[in-house]
Structure 1
Amino acid sequence: MTAVETRLGELYAELPSGERAIVRVVLDDYPFAALGSLRSLAERAGVSPPTASRLVSRLGFGSFAEFQAAVRAGAREQDRSRLREFVSQSPDTHQAAETLRSGLDGALAAVTEAVLASAAERLAKAGRVWGIGGPLSELAAEYLIRQLAGLRPGAHRVPDTPSARARTLLDLGAADLVVAYDFRRYAADTTRFVRAARERGAQLVLITDAWESPLADQAEILIRLPHEAAGPIAPLTHQVAITELLLVATSSRLDSLTRLADLDALTHALQPSGSS
């Protein structure tokens, strides 16, 4: 990570919403988003050029051109560093395991007892629960819904096509809970569905990253994984671990023994003869 990216991450939580929008655009398409004009960057973030100028000043640069020079220099050094690492180092399995373990610890620590309890309470009491994710995080959403369906009725995946999503939205209301997984690069179709669901009164539990999804201001419950937890390939392990936490906390609020026994019996009854 370059010095500019690091500084943006350090400042992010303290920034006003307009400057946060600029940071998200820059980091989502780094370094290219920072190398156009100040006006084009502001337009991509949906803010005014003076807002972009204030962020540049807050970062300690005297001008936008100076900011861009730092971005270019950092990107060049990062490329050289990656090349040196590729040429000189062999894979280190132990180091990779330690990195994954450290990231997992950071992800789990990001969920406080209060946040976990509040999210589990909503998962247990909502009329229906709807899971949605992006290109990779949809696997975590699928896992949540499959497990939750064994614990309580009314657990559903948000369908994939616009027409099916529209039919789902028709019946959504205040008793519904949407659990959205949204990580860089943030999925526009997830944003559209969740905003429409919120307009119809649905509740939202959002699981996102350090930079925060554009949906962060919509969530009643926000679970924000630290940047370090993402790692170089944003492992799915961390998202699944958070999902496991939510499921365990939710199961303690439900009396699901009879339902789980019925599920096992039905599963056995539907298996072909001779299968195990």
Structure 2
Amino acid sequence: MQDDPVVTRLSSVYPELPPGERAVVRVLLDDYPFAGLGSLRSLAERAGVSPPTASRLFDRLGYDGFAAFQAAVRDGARDRSRLHEFVTRSPGTDLPAGDDPVARRPEDGSSAVRQAAGELRAGLEGTLAAVPEPLIETVAALLAAARSVWALGGPLSELAAEYLVRQLAALRPAARRVPDTASARAGTLLDLGPPDLVVAYDFRRYCPGTARFARAARVRGARLVLVTDAWMSPLAAEAEALIRLPHEAAGPIAPLAHEIAVTELLLVATAARLAPAGRLADLDALTQTL
């Protein structure tokens, strides 16, 4: 966080600010970047100041309003690698000059594993608590009723998209992953319409290809379910159903475990709507013949 230019700017200007604007900066730095990603009113309330006072801070910092400040916060968040963050703060990674990594004490690795396990456990509990059952049921209804379901994600979240369609294909027909090439994606879009559903997994760093396909599908009338993070994908405003994982779901390296957990809930709720016992029995019988 200390390398983030927004944090650097907030810290450097703090001594020069009037009391009200200092209070806003304290809230931002105490809960960065999440405090800066809500509404201006909620930020002002947390700082105990009026919205105009909070707004003056961003003008003073040289941003073209609060929306421009939020864009800068999101840009900084996208540029940070979770893997790099975890490695640089994990026990035993800062070695004195001349130390041999091979000679590192064996307990260093165990300590890192315990730390990661604790973060995963706490994050998973927070994720499941943050995704209410009515939202799961809403998405399940869309997954069950759509003519076809197409899922896609970014470099890592595509694994969650693949898991969704592999399991969903056993429950219902026409569940597929969005193809990778531009020509194949164009062919997919050609046949998309209002009866179809796109499920996008989009986490920082947000994937431009995911956004392009989802927006093109929306233009053609397809519905959109978005699974994203606390920073929120640029697609958030276009989603009919939005599953926003809390910041605890970032995981020690990536949010994949949390994405899969939420996907499991979606599949369970969808299966309850489809009653797919006959289809699954046919699938098992066919598998035995091949």
Measure the CA separation in 2 of the matches of 1:11 and 1:102: 23
The answer to whether the Cα contact below 8 Å between 1:137 and 1:236 also exists between their aligned partners in 2 is: yes
How many angstroms does 1:135 deviate by?
Answer: 0.5
Counterpart selection for 2:125 from 87, 99, 105: 105
1:29 aligned residue? 79
Between stretches 102-111 and 168-177, larger displacement belongs to 102-111
Measure the CA separation in 2 of the matches of 1:26 and 1:237: 24
Are positions 1:148 and 2:148 aligned together? Answer: no
Instruction: Give the 3-state SS of the residue equivalent to 2:273 in structure 1.
Output: coil
2:21 aligned residue? none
| Structure 1 letter corresponding to 2:39 | E
Measure the CA separation in 1 of the matches of 2:89 and 2:277: 52
Measure the CA separation in 2 of the matches of 1:227 and 1:97: 16
Counterpart selection for 1:230 from 245, 250, 254: 250
Q: 1:189 to 1:262 in 2, by over 3 A?
A: same
How many angstroms does 1:85 deviate by?
Answer: 5.4
Are positions 1:193 and 2:201 aligned together? Answer: no
Instruction: Give the 3-state SS of the residue equivalent to 1:102 in structure 2.
Output: helix
Deviations 1:133-169 (A, max 9, x none): 1111111100000000000011011011000000000
1:66 aligned residue? none
1:158 aligned residue? 178
How many angstroms does 1:83 deviate by?
Answer: 8.6
How many angstroms does 1:98 deviate by?
Answer: 1.6
The answer to whether the Cα contact below 8 Å between 2:91 and 2:108 also exists between their aligned partners in 1 is: no
Q: 1:185 to 1:261 in 2, by over 3 A?
A: same
Between stretches 7-16 and 100-109, larger displacement belongs to 7-16
Measure the CA separation in 2 of the matches of 1:230 and 1:251: 28
Between stretches 232-241 and 112-121, larger displacement belongs to 232-241
How many angstroms does 1:10 deviate by?
Answer: 1.5
1:90 aligned residue? 108
Are positions 1:221 and 2:246 aligned together? Answer: no
Q: 1:25 to 1:87 in 2, by over 3 A?
A: closer
1:204 aligned residue? 224
Which consecutive residues of structure 1, in runs of 5 or more, have no partner in the other structure? 32-77, 271-276
Measure the CA separation in 2 of the matches of 1:135 and 1:249: 27
| Structure 2 letter corresponding to 1:220 | E
TM-score w.r.t. the length of structure 2 is 0.71
Instruction: Give the 3-state SS of the residue equivalent to 2:265 in structure 1.
Output: helix
Q: 1:83 to 1:250 in 2, by over 3 A?
A: closer
Instruction: Give the 3-state SS of the residue equivalent to 2:198 in structure 1.
Output: strand
Are positions 1:182 and 2:208 aligned together? Answer: no
| Structure 2 letter corresponding to 1:187 | C
How many angstroms does 1:11 deviate by?
Answer: 2.5
Q: Percent identity?
A: 60
How many angstroms does 1:189 deviate by?
Answer: 0.6
Give me the CA root mean square deviation: 2.4
1:13 aligned residue? 38
TM-score w.r.t. the length of structure 1 is 0.75
Measure the CA separation in 1 of the matches of 2:226 and 2:73: 20
How many angstroms does 1:236 deviate by?
Answer: 1.5
Q: 1:18 to 1:197 in 2, by over 3 A?
A: farther
Q: 1:260 to 1:83 in 2, by over 3 A?
A: closer
1:247 aligned residue? 267
Instruction: Give the 3-state SS of the residue equivalent to 2:180 in structure 1.
Output: coil
Measure the CA separation in 2 of the matches of 1:247 and 1:102: 23
Between stretches 22-31 and 202-211, larger displacement belongs to 22-31
How many angstroms does 1:90 deviate by?
Answer: 1.5
Measure the CA separation in 1 of the matches of 2:217 and 2:91: 48
Which consecutive residues of structure 2, in runs of 5 or more, have no partner in the other structure? 8-28, 41-65, 96-106
Between stretches 15-24 and 136-145, larger displacement belongs to 15-24
